Amino acid sequence: MLASKPTVLPRMTVTDAAVIHLREEIVAGRLPSGELLPEAKVGVLLGVSRAPVREALVLLEREGLIKFDRRGTAQVCTFTHEDLREIVLMRGALEPVAARLVCERRSDRVEREFQDNLRALRRSKSLSDVTRLDVEFHRLVMRHAGHRRLLAAWEALASQFLFVLMRCHGAIEGQRGQTQDRTYHAHTELFNAIKSGDGARAEALARQHVNGWLVEFEQLEVFPAMKEAAL
């Protein structure tokens, strides 16, 4: 739910700060699905005028985290099982190609970025950190593929990737160690393929990783079927 006290935003453009704050609230579940976000109320709570709030809400609509109803009021999106499948299928279309391309552009600097991510993942003490580092690893794959349009397509869905992953990981909070180990192993295996320049193996591992992700999270039944969500 919306906080009852004003929030101090970090130094940056007001719109960017509002986007970051609202995105984090939605992804963390503090702004639940279906929550209404009236511009005036959000503006008061963030201590900003309605104009940057409106701009921030439009940007979050593009990220797929909110929608506007017929009255023009923003509302946090409700994700369904069908949304989960669509998001995973998009990952399956984008990430294997990027994994193969990274193998052609690997460098010492690129390898260090992957290694830093893996070390941070290994040291993580919370499931939320594991989740964010999981998404960041895949962002590294996409960023270093050297394909602008591929990256743009992925980034357009990145907030939804994080949202879905947070919800699914949250459903297995008591299995943090197992989730962390499994994620670390899968990412290390993919990194080793990238490091060795084996494009075919990197592509296959990326596809296997995404497919396994879908099978595991469908079984959790975190998201309702579309008909149930409409009730």
CATH numbers and ranges of domains, the chain? 14-76 (1.10.10.10), 81-220 (1.20.120.530)
Which has more confidence, 217 or 39?
A: 39
> What letter does residue 7 receive in the DSSP assignment?
-
How many residues in total does the chain contain?
Answer: 231
φ and ψ at residue 74, rounded to 5 degrees: -75, 150
pLDDT of residue 214: 85
Q: Per DSSP, which regions of the chain are E strands? A: 36-37, 66-68, 74-76
pLDDT of residue 174: 66
pLDDT of residue 7: 67
Can you tell me which residue has the tokens 């990430």?
95
DSSP 75-109: EEPPP-HHHHHHHHHHHHHHHHHHHHHHHHH--HH
Tell me how far apart the alpha carbons of residues 165 and 34 are, in angstroms, rounded to a whole number. Answer: 19
Q: Which two tokens stand for residue 123?
A: 């040291």
When pLDDT is averaged across residues 217-226 and rounded to a whole number, the result is: 81
> What letter does residue 173 receive in the DSSP assignment?
G
By mean pLDDT, which of 9-13, 15-19, 106-110, 120-124 is the weakest?
Answer: 9-13
pLDDT of residue 170: 80
pLDDT of residue 151: 97
- Non-local (6+) Cβ contacts of 167 within 8 A are 29, 79, 222, 223
Tell me how far apart the alpha carbons of residues 83 and 74 are, in angstroms, rounded to a whole number. Answer: 19
pLDDT tens figures, 47-89: 999 999 999 999 999 999 999 999 999 999 999 999 999 999 9
pLDDT of residue 38: 95
pLDDT of residue 3: 63
Q: Indicate if the pLDDT at residue 188 is higher than 60.
A: yes
Kindly report the average pLDDT of the chain as a whole number. 91
When pLDDT is averaged across residues 153-177 and rounded to a whole number, the result is: 87
Q: What is the pTM of this model?
A: 0.86
Q: Which two tokens stand for residue 229?
A: 């969500």
Spacing of C-alpha 94 from chain mean position: 14
Find out whether 74 and 36 touch, Cβ atoms under 8 Å. Answer: yes
pLDDT of residue 185: 96
